Chains A and B, each alone.
Chain A
Amino acid sequence: MNLEIITKFLKEFHKDYSLSNKIQALSNLFSSINIEIAYLIINKKPFEIHRIKDSNSKLQLNSAEINISNHEIQLPTGENSITIYNNPIKDEYNTYGWLLIGPSKIDSELEKIIQAELTCFLKHTINQTFLKKAHQLETICLLSERVSSFYDLKHLLDIVTEYVTKALNAKGAVIRLVNKNKQLLEVMSEYGLENVNIRRYGIKLGDGVSGEVWKSKMPKLVIPDTKESEQLLSSKLRIKSLICVPLIFENDVTGTLSVYEKLSERPFDEEDKIFLEVIAGLVSPLIAYTEALEREQSLRKQISKNLENLHIITEINKIIMQPRKIDELIFLILTALTFGKDIGFNRAGLFMYNAQTGTFQGMIGVGCNDETEIQIWEKLPDMTTKEWLEIIDKNKIKNESTFNNTIKQLRFDISDFPLIIQILRSGSVYVSKKDEKDIIKEKLNIEEYAIVPLLGKEDLLGMLYVDNKFTKKPIDENYISLLQTFASQAALAIENSKLYSEITNTNELLKTAKQELIVKEKLATVGEMLTILAHEIRNPLTAIGGFANIISKKSENLTIKELAEKIYIHASKMDDMFKEFLLLAKHSTLQYSINDLNEIVVECIKNFDYVDSKNISFIFNSNESLKVDIDKNMIKVVLNNLLKNAIQAMPKGGKITIETKKEDSYAVLTIEDEGHGIPSDVLPNIFDPFYTTKFNGFGIGLSISYKIIKQHNGIIYAENKNGGAKFTVKLPLSIKEEVKDEQKNSYS
Chain B
Amino acid sequence: MSKRILIADDEENIRTLYKIELEESGYIVDLASNGKEAVEKAKEKLPDLIILDIKMPVMDGIEALHMIRQLPNGKDVPIILFTAYGEYQQDFTTWASDAYIIKSHDMTELKTKIEELLNK
Chain A contacts to B: CB under 8 angstroms: 530-531, 534-535, 538-550, 568, 571-572, 575, 579, 582-583, 585-589
Q: Are B107 and A546 in contact (CB under 8 A)?
A: yes
- Chain B residues with CB under 8 Å of A539's CB are 11, 13-14, 84, 103
Q: Are A535 and B55 in contact (CB under 8 A)?
A: yes
Among residues of A, the one whose C-beta sits closest to the C-beta of B55 is: A535
Min C-beta distance of B9 to chain A, whole Å:
8
- Chain B residues with CB under 8 Å of A547's CB are 13, 17
Binary contact track B75-99/A, C-beta < 8 Å → 1, others 0: 0000000001111011000000000
Tell me, yes or no, whether B106 is within 8 Å of chain A by CB: yes
Neighbour of B17 across the interface among A534, A546, A572, A582, CB < 8 A: A546
Among residues of B, the one whose C-beta sits closest to the C-beta of A530 is: B85
The CA-CA distance from A543 to B21 in the complex, in Å, is: 11
Min C-beta distance of B100 to chain A, whole Å:
12
- What are 29 inter-chain pairs, A to B, with CB distance below 8 A? A530-B85, A531-B87, A534-B84, A534-B85, A535-B55, A539-B84, A539-B103, A540-B11, A540-B13, A541-B105, A542-B13, A542-B103, A542-B104, A543-B11, A543-B13, A543-B14, A545-B106, A546-B18, A546-B21, A546-B107, A550-B17, A550-B20, A572-B106, A575-B105, A579-B86, A582-B85, A582-B86, A588-B86, A589-B90
Neighbour of A538 across the interface among B16, B20, B85, CB < 8 A: B85
**Top 7 nearest A-B pairs by Cβ distance?**
A545-B105, A543-B13, A546-B105, A546-B17, A534-B85, A538-B84, A539-B11
Q: Are A588 and B17 in contact (CB under 8 A)?
A: no
Neighbour of A575 across the interface among B21, B55, B104, CB < 8 A: B104
Q: Are A543 and B85 in contact (CB under 8 A)?
A: no
- Chain A residues with CB under 8 Å of B14's CB are 539, 542-543, 546
Q: Are B11 and A531 in contact (CB under 8 A)?
A: no
Min C-beta distance of B109 to chain A, whole Å:
12
- Chain A residues with CB under 8 Å of B21's CB are 546, 550
- Chain A residues with CB under 8 Å of B17's CB are 542-543, 546-547, 550
- Chain B residues with CB under 8 Å of A530's CB are 85
* Interface size of B as a range: 20 to 34
Tell me, yes or no, whether B118 is within 8 Å of chain A by CB: no
Q: Are A586 and B107 in contact (CB under 8 A)?
A: no
Min C-beta distance of B68 to chain A, whole Å:
23
Min C-beta distance of B20 to chain A, whole Å:
6
Q: Are A571 and B105 in contact (CB under 8 A)?
A: yes
The CA-CA distance from A539 to B56 in the complex, in Å, is: 12
- Chain A residues with CB under 8 Å of B71's CB are none
The CA-CA distance from A541 to B85 in the complex, in Å, is: 13
The CA-CA distance from A152 to B44 in the complex, in Å, is: 132
Q: Are A538 and B103 in contact (CB under 8 A)?
A: yes
Among residues of B, the one whose C-beta sits closest to the C-beta of A591 is: B90
The CA-CA distance from A531 to B87 in the complex, in Å, is: 9
- Chain B residues with CB under 8 Å of A587's CB are 87
Among residues of A, the one whose C-beta sits closest to the C-beta of B10 is: A539
Max chain B CB contacts within 10 Å: which of A534, A535, A542, A583? A542
- Chain A residues with CB under 8 Å of B105's CB are 541-546, 548-549, 568, 571-572, 575
- Chain B residues with CB under 8 Å of A549's CB are 105-107
Q: Are B84 and A535 in contact (CB under 8 A)?
A: yes
- Chain A residues with CB under 8 Å of B11's CB are 539-540, 543
Given known contacts A575-B106, A587-B87, what 5 new A-B pairs fall within 8 Å (CB)? A531-B87, A538-B84, A546-B18, A546-B107, A572-B105
The CA-CA distance from A543 to B14 in the complex, in Å, is: 6
- Chain A residues with CB under 8 Å of B102's CB are 579, 582
- Chain A residues with CB under 8 Å of B20's CB are 550
Min C-beta distance of A551 to chain B, whole Å:
10
The CA-CA distance from A585 to B86 in the complex, in Å, is: 10
Q: Are A531 and B85 in contact (CB under 8 A)?
A: yes
Within 8 A of A (CB), among B34-75: 55
- Chain B residues with CB under 8 Å of A550's CB are 17, 20-21
- Chain A residues with CB under 8 Å of B85's CB are 530-531, 534-535, 538, 582
The CA-CA distance from A542 to B109 in the complex, in Å, is: 14
The CA-CA distance from A583 to B21 in the complex, in Å, is: 27
Binary contact track B1-34/A, C-beta < 8 Å → 1, others 0: 0000000000101101110110000000000000
Among residues of B, the one whose C-beta sits closest to the C-beta of A536 is: B84
Min C-beta distance of A83 to chain B, whole Å:
158
- Chain B residues with CB under 8 Å of A589's CB are 90
Among residues of B, the one whose C-beta sits closest to the C-beta of A545 is: B105
Among residues of A, the one whose C-beta sits closest to the C-beta of B53 is: A539
- Chain B residues with CB under 8 Å of A538's CB are 84-85, 103
The CA-CA distance from A540 to B11 in the complex, in Å, is: 8
The CA-CA distance from A647 to B16 in the complex, in Å, is: 38
- Chain B residues with CB under 8 Å of A543's CB are 11, 13-14, 16-17, 105
The CA-CA distance from A543 to B106 in the complex, in Å, is: 10
The CA-CA distance from A305 to B89 in the complex, in Å, is: 81
- Chain B residues with CB under 8 Å of A535's CB are 55, 84-85
- Chain B residues with CB under 8 Å of A544's CB are 105
- Chain A residues with CB under 8 Å of B90's CB are 588-589
Min C-beta distance of B86 to chain A, whole Å:
5
- Chain A residues with CB under 8 Å of B104's CB are 542, 545, 575
Min C-beta distance of A456 to chain B, whole Å:
54
The CA-CA distance from A585 to B106 in the complex, in Å, is: 22
Min C-beta distance of A198 to chain B, whole Å:
111
Min C-beta distance of A163 to chain B, whole Å:
115
The CA-CA distance from A547 to B104 in the complex, in Å, is: 12
Among residues of B, the one whose C-beta sits closest to the C-beta of A543 is: B13
Min C-beta distance of B45 to chain A, whole Å:
27
Min C-beta distance of A636 to chain B, whole Å:
15
- Chain A residues with CB under 8 Å of B13's CB are 539-540, 542-543, 547
The CA-CA distance from A64 to B85 in the complex, in Å, is: 143
The CA-CA distance from A530 to B85 in the complex, in Å, is: 9
Among residues of A, the one whose C-beta sits closest to the C-beta of B15 is: A543
Max chain A CB contacts within 10 Å: which of B14, B84, B86, B90? B84
Among residues of B, the one whose C-beta sits closest to the C-beta of A527 is: B87
Q: Are A588 and B55 in contact (CB under 8 A)?
A: no
Min C-beta distance of A158 to chain B, whole Å:
108
- Chain B residues with CB under 8 Å of A583's CB are 86
The CA-CA distance from A587 to B89 in the complex, in Å, is: 10
- Chain B residues with CB under 8 Å of A534's CB are 84-85
Among residues of B, the one whose C-beta sits closest to the C-beta of A586 is: B87
The CA-CA distance from A549 to B105 in the complex, in Å, is: 8
The CA-CA distance from A549 to B84 in the complex, in Å, is: 19
The CA-CA distance from A575 to B104 in the complex, in Å, is: 8
Among residues of A, the one whose C-beta sits closest to the C-beta of B103 is: A542
The CA-CA distance from A589 to B105 in the complex, in Å, is: 27
Min C-beta distance of B101 to chain A, whole Å:
12
The CA-CA distance from A585 to B87 in the complex, in Å, is: 9
